[in-house]
Structure 1
Amino acid sequence: MGMLDGKVAVVTGSGGGIGREIALHMAQAGAKVIINDIGASLTGEGASATPAQQTKQIIEQRGGRAEINTDSVSSWESAGKIVQSALDHFGRIDIVVNNAGILRDQIFHRMTPEEWDAVIDVHLNGSFYVSRHAATHFRKQEGGSYVHITSTSGLIGNFGQANYSAAKLGICALSKSIALDMKRYNVRSNCLAPFAWSRMTSSIPAETPEQKARVEKIMRMGPEKNAPLAVFLASDAAKDVTGQIFGPRMNELFLFSQNRPIRGIHAAEGWTPESIAEHALPALKSFFVPMERSGEVFSWDPL
């Protein structure tokens, strides 16, 4: 008996990397899998069914069941076809893994509206579209699980990724809203912030000695290290886990904090700009969140 026996999973962007490993592990755990991938480049150009076919071949060689869908997550209509493919092939849908993604990295003052829209459309809009189509079926059957792939670029910060960071942090808010709205239907929604060397991290600069050292650390973390947590979150063993953000890093597992007040001060007479500068700023400044990137927060070697 596998942890996902009898369940049907849709894994977007599962033609390679982290998505492929999640699809493989879910199939190994007993799920029937819809492998969704348009086969585009890292920046979203082109299309090919080959990556999805390769994932399907591996699953079937290992005795699992899978079907391919090559529709894009980035429009409402095509996202509906992704969910419908699960119903057409396997008669139901129990799990959605929102993993599909592209990159259009650019320093903020040079970022174009096209670079912004392209990334938001796939990551944030795509997660909403696929999740919303699945929600109709989750509600009817009173059960289902979402696993959304976020990133420390959004949770903590990174250079040259305003579009990606905004989308990935937005996905966390989307997940929390789904968890709150659909709890009454036994539907769970969680986020996973992966650490791995994959196509999505291959664009990290490696020019300075510090950058090269950071990339070398990431390259030691294979995409397969993220799959066990995704399988668990999708399973009935996680029936009490919803609205959370997790991060697997090699053999470490992290639970991320979510925004809460960290310091408060009160003035009986109210505040003026001057009193804020004189009294509030000194009281609050030592609690400011540092200007750090993910690599600076996770500065130790992965265990």
Structure 2
Amino acid sequence: MADIRFDGKVAIVTGAGGGLGRQHALELARRGAKVVVNDLGGSVDGSGGSSAAADAVVEEIKAAGGEAISNGSSVTDDAGVALMIKQAMDQWGRIDILVANAGILRDKSFAKMEIADFELVLNVHLMGTVKPAKAVWDIMREQNYGRIVVTTSSSGLYGNFGQSNYGAAKLGIIGFMNTLRLEGAKNNIHVNAIAPVAATRMTENLMPPAVLERLKPEYVTPGVVYLCSEEAPTGAILTAGAGAFALSRIYETEGVYLGEGGLSVEEVRDNWSKISDPEGQAAYAAGGEQSQKFFRKLSGG
């Protein structure tokens, strides 16, 4: 089969000044994409800012013969996001790919966490995905083509102590993706998620060096770049780390119909084993499929 290429395509990668985003931007450019390298240049907790990191990645791309421009906007800033889109359109006249990668951490147990830290992380990860996606949406619809990759996390999918803010944001992104993939289908806009495990500034203090060495960001990037391609699926949650790849899915059990007359709390308790029985469970493609199941059960099916 032919190599995956992005000649003539334009990509925006947020948070691309280092770590995962940098690798995504470099690989897209290496395969022919013109890349907007976005990075606020702040610290891991979101404070500060500098264009140096994004500029350095642009220079790497240009030195390798590619095309790129830098953008230092915050993904939470409406005017900054609009500027990023304007730069891409003024320079190349189209936007085909958005990789929403930017993020910060403010880890604490929920008991010790300030609401301000919860709101900030939610804003950067969730709204910092929503705002760029909204800004490119009509462009992609008019083109009848688009590929959006959002970044989730095992902390959102499964939970992680001390990351209630981060986990809430990351699972919120999945809810966002699940609807975008439906709304974008008729215009050939595919929306997928990556759940990476990688050695970056955000994880360097969480694992020993020997483990981090096996978790290089470039071991995740091939999965992300595939999700940016014309061949990409839509609605997938691709998990990746250390060269391993898997799919995460949300399943719902078949459950049990308990009737309406005399329905009680005790009936739910007494039928919990049937409610939680995994036999016949399914991963739904849309929320309406759950309603269809309930109506089927109501009809005796």
Question: If the length of structure 1 is used for normalisation, what is the TM-score?
Answer: 0.86
* Structure of higher RCO (CA pairs closer than 8 Å, 6+ residues apart): 1
Residue 202 in structure 1 maps to residue 204 in structure 2? yes
**Residue 115 (1) aligns with residue 106 (2):** no
Give the letter for the 1:243 counterpart: G
Aligned residues: 275
- Residue 228 of structure 2 is aligned to residue 237 of structure 1: no
**Aligned equivalent of 2:6:** 4
Aligned to 1:52: 54
Equivalence map 1:1-303=2 (5 Å): 3-204=5-206, 216-238=210-232, 241-258=233-250, 260-268=251-259, 269-277=261-269, 279-284=270-275
The alignment's C-alpha RMSD in Å is 1.7
2:4–2:31: 8 Å Cα contact kept in structure 1?
A: yes
TM-superposition CA deviations, 1:5-33 (whole Å, max 9, x none): 11000000000000000000000010000
Residues 286 and 218 (structure 1 numbering): CA distance in 2 closer, same or farther, change over 3 Å? farther
- Given the superposition, is the C-alpha separation of residues 249 and 271 from structure 1 closer, same or farther in structure 2, using an over 3 Å criterion? same
What is the alpha-carbon distance in structure 2 between the residues aligned to residue 251 and residue 105 of structure 1? Answer: 27
Alpha-carbon displacement from aligned partner over 1:257-280 (angstroms, at most 9, x marks no partner): 12x322412223452123323x12
Contact 1:73 1:122 in 2 (8 A): yes
| Letter aligned with residue 140 of structure 1 | E
Aligned-pair CA distance for 1:283: 4.0
Paired letter, 1:182: G
- Are the equivalent residues in 1 in contact too, given 2:45–2:104 (CA < 8 A)? yes
CA distance in 1, matches of 2:60, 2:67: 10
Q: Does the 8 Å CA contact 2:4/2:229 hold for their aligned counterparts?
A: no
Does structure 2 retain, via aligned residues, the 8 Å contact 1:9–1:31? yes
In structure 2, what residue type is equivalent to 1:256? S
Post-superposition offset of 1:76: 2.4
Question: What do the CA deviations read for 1:88-117 (whole angstroms, capped 9, x no partner)?
Answer: 222211100000000001101121111011
2:204, 2:212 within 8 Å by CA — same for their partners in 1?
Answer: no
- The answer on whether the counterparts of 1:195 and 1:218 sit within 8 Å (CA) in structure 2 is no
SS in 2 for 1:110: coil
- TM-score, normalised via structure 2 length: 0.87
Distance 2:175 2:45 in 1: 25
> What SS does the corresponding residue of 1:193 show, helix, strand or coil?
strand
Q: Deviations over 1:155-193 (max 9, x none)?
A: 111010011001111111111111101111111100011
Q: Contact 1:196 / 1:219 at 8 angstroms: preserved in 2?
A: no
Counterpart residue number, 1:300: none
For residues 129 and 100 of structure 2, the distance between their equivalents in structure 1, rounded to whole angstroms, comes to: 6
Gaps of 5+ in 2: 279-301
Q: How far apart, in 2, do the equivalents of 1:5 and 1:221 lie? A: 29
CA distance in 1, matches of 2:52, 2:104: 18
Distance in structure 1 (CA, Å) of the matches to 2:63 and 2:231: 27
- Secondary structure of the 1:108 match is coil
* Contact 2:258 2:267 survives alignment (8 Å): no
Q: Which amino acid aligns with 1:107?
A: S
Aligned in 2, Cα 1:275/1:236: closer, same or farther, shift over 3 Å? Answer: closer
